[in-house]
């Protein structure tokens, strides 16, 4: 079922809540794929009703061409969901439903970790993410909301957001869904040619290399190795490769056996920017 008006969505959900049903939200920007589906299925294992929002949020793009080229096809998305999980409620708001007449990001104090990686290379990105989610949570008032570890830094931003805004919603992280060659599913993959899709596997290979090296090698030597892997591929432009402690998400050069670590990559394949990450220990 596709609902594009805020009020009819709220009416539908109110009835369900009064019947004691739990509501799960999976916020997306559309161009749905297996990765989104894994979140939706995860959500159904925790909730009676799942709302998938499809909204390409203008305030989280720091690059206007990236926003313009972001794949959009709500009809295809609705068909995809109908085929896989017919009872899913699809919410497709307009920009004014979310932002009224002020399409601007609020500024949030998420903490130091947003000054690195995605926050460093996409200025204002997380304020945009926080702005849209705060509004979606206000409209939908879900009991639980589901986010992919594929965007691990974002998952942590959202946990911080609900702490700051005191919104009563459980934030649940879901594992990254990958194709048979390890490539993380992403809406941006739709912009890649067959040959590029094959090349994109380098990101997974680099993360696996880092994972294998992590036990016995210094962070510096892992970084050098990964940088070398990208330098030897003329189609890729590595934006960052960082190893961080999972508790603070701050890039580090030192290892301490008491902590968990994670590696993060952002790289351009041609014009398409891809990100991924992996737990190392
Ligand atoms: P997006 O439409 O790219 O904004 O993603 C919507 C949600 O789906 C976010 O919580 C993402 O982290 C999640 N997601 C996207 N790709 C994947 C994937 N391959 N595996 C798991 N979750 C994903």
HEC string of 69-118? HCCCCHHHHHHHHHHHCCCCEEECCCHHHHHCCCCCCCCCCCCHHHHCCH
Q: CA–CA separation, 97 vs 110, rounded Å? A: 25
Domains 2-174 and 187-279 share a fold: no
**Which of the residues are catalytic?**
36
Q: List the chain domain ranges.
A: 2-174, 187-279
Q: Please provide residue 95's backbone torsions phi and psi, each rounded to the nearest 5 degrees.
A: -55, -40
CA of 233 to the centre of ligand 1 (A): 26
User: Tokens representing 33?
Assistant: 């794929």
Alpha carbon nearest to ligand 1 atom 13, residue: 148
Per-residue pLDDT of the chain (281 residues; tens, 9 = 90+): 999 999 999 999 999 999 999 999 999 999 999 999 999 999 999 999 999 999 999 999 988 898 999 989 999 999 999 998 889 999 999 999 999 999 999 999 999 999 999 999 999 999 999 999 999 999 999 999 999 999 999 999 999 999 999 999 999 999 999 999 999 999 999 999 999 999 999 999 999 999 999 999 999 999 999 999 999 999 999 999 999 999 999 999 999 999 999 999 999 999 999 999 999 99
Q: Model-level pTM?
A: 0.97
CA 103 remoteness from chain centre: 21
Cβ(277) – ligand 1 distance below 6 Å = no
DSSP conformational letter for 56: -
Q: Which CATH architecture has domain 187-279?
A: 2-Layer Sandwich (3.30)
Side-chain half-sphere of 21: how many Cα atoms within 13 Å? 14
Which overall architecture, per CATH, does domain 2-174 show?
A: 3-Layer(aba) Sandwich (3.40)
What does the buried/exposed string (b/e) look like for 208-218 if buried means 16 or more CB atoms within 10 Å of the residue's CB? ebbbebbeeee
186 CA distance to ligand 1 middle (Å): 7
């Amino acid at each position: 079922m596709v609902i594009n008006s805020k009020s009819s969505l709220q009416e539908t959900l109110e009835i369900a809540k009064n019947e004691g049903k739990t509501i799960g939200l999976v916020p997306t920007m559309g161009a749905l794929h297996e990765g989104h589906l894994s979140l939706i299925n995860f959500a159904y294992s925790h909730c009676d009703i799942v709302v998938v929002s499809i909204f390409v949020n203008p305030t989280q793009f720091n690059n206007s061409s990236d926003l313009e080229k972001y794949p959009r096809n709500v009809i295809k998305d609705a068909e995809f969901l109908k085929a896989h999980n017919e009872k899913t409620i699809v919410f497709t708001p307009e920009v004014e439903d979310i932002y009224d007449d002020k399409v601007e990001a609020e500024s949030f104090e998420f903490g130091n970790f947003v000054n690195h990686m995605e926050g460093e290379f996409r200025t204002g990105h997380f304020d945009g993410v926080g702005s849209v989610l705060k509004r979606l949570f206000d409209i939908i008032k879900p009991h639980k909301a589901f986010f992919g570890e594929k965007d691990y830094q974002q998952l942590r931003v959202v946990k911080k957001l609900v702490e700051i805004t005191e919104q009563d919603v459980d934030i649940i992280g879901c594992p990254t869904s990958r194709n048979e060659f390890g490539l993380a599913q992403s809406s941006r993959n739709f912009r890649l040619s067959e040959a590029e899709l094959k090349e994109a596997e380098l990101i997974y290979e680099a993360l696996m290399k880092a994972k294998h090296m992590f036990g016995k090698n210094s962070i510096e030597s892992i970084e050098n190795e990964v940088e070398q892997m990208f330098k030897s591929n003329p189609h890729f432009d590595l934006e960052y490769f960082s190893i961080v402690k999972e508790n603070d998400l701050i890039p580090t050069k030192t290892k301490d056996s008491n902590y968990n670590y994670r590696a993060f990559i952002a790289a351009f394949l041609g014009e398409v920017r891809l990100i991924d990450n992996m737990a190392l220990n």
